[in-house]
Structure 1
Amino acid sequence: MAVSGTKEFDIKAAPAEVMAALVAVDRLGEWSSSHKKVEIETTHPDGRPDRVRMTVSVVGITDEQVVDYSFEGDEKLSWTLVSSTQQRQQDGSYVLSPNADGGTHVVFELTVDPTIPLPGFIVKKAQKHALETASKGLTKFVEGL
């Protein structure tokens, strides 16, 4: 069964700076402890990542996944799962908008559907970890650049 979550937060950096950090998917491991290995397989004509292969480990479950990234300027980054050893579906996005103090308001959304039945508490723990990493890890990474 697919589970979805949303997290909204603010980062003290301009949207272009936040997007630059998100585009640097090869640096995901610097702010996401779940990402063990990230390899960009193909890029879009503008040099942004297109197809990315990664090894991810959450709550003791390791997944080898391939995702396709798409972009809408510096406002939105989204991805869709192409293949995975542990999931049927994964869709995620970051939507960025300027806020009143010159920073960025971020809306992170993630939907995952594991292939194996997992107890609800494990799915919730993994979801919470992903949402917290997206907010706290990304914020610390961007503000530290």
Structure 2
Amino acid sequence: MADRTSSSITINASAPEVMAVIADFPAYPGWAEGITAAEVVSTAEDGRAEQVRITLEAGPIKDTYVLAYDWADDDAVQWNLAEAGTMLTGMTGAYRLAPGDGSTEVTYELAVDVRIPMIGMVRRKAEKRIIETALKGLKRRVEA
């Protein structure tokens, strides 16, 4: 897997409030640009998703894949590709939350591999766009 791309944003809410939105996968189509469906396939004993089937439509890229999640309370969640799609061959990512004074700094890390050859610089630029869009959408959703 390639190097990860990352970015951060400060959200005016507590870490548990932010993580509740991150963990609410069925709501993703309402705020996560490009995601048209997010179906929880399996859950852990604590009720959080272990695997989620994601349907993505972002410009020319249309794909369905399954991600496996590993939760660290309300501090972080990491994921990796459990079932590849037609375009997506690899993905690792994480949301890391750092509580502040009445706010939470959220860092999103992402690395994606696709079937089509892509120059590293172009791939990182695409990852950066995905991350920035996701962080802005998360901030809008949590602060609404």
How high is the TM-score relative to the length of structure 2? 0.91
Is structure 2 residue 52 aligned with structure 1 residue 52?
yes
**C-alpha root-mean-square deviation of aligned residues, in Å?**
1.7
Unaligned runs of 5+ in 1: none
Aligned to 2:96: 95
Which segment is superposed worse, 59-68 or 15-24? 59-68
Unmatched segments (≥5 aa) in structure 2 = none
> Contact 1:52–1:67 (CA<8 Å) still a contact in 2?
yes
Q: Shift of residue 86 of structure 1? A: 1.2
CA distance in 2, matches of 1:44, 1:27: 19
Pairing of 1:119-138 with structure 2 (within 5 A)? 123-138=123-138
Contact 2:7 2:128 in 1 (8 A): no
**Does the CA-based 8 Å contact 1:58-1:126 persist in structure 2?**
no
Question: Take 2:33 and 2:6, find their aligned partners in 1: how far apart are those partners?
Answer: 19
Q: Secondary structure at the match of 1:56?
A: strand
Aligned residue pairs total 143
TM-score when normalising by structure 1: 0.90
Between the two proteins, what is the percent identity of the paired residues?
Answer: 36
Please give the residue correspondences for 1:1-145 in structure 2 after superposition, counting only pairs within 5 Å. 2=2, 4-84=4-84, 85-99=86-100, 101-118=101-118, 123-144=123-144
- Are the counterparts in 1 of residues 5 and 124 from structure 2 also a CA contact under 8 Å? no
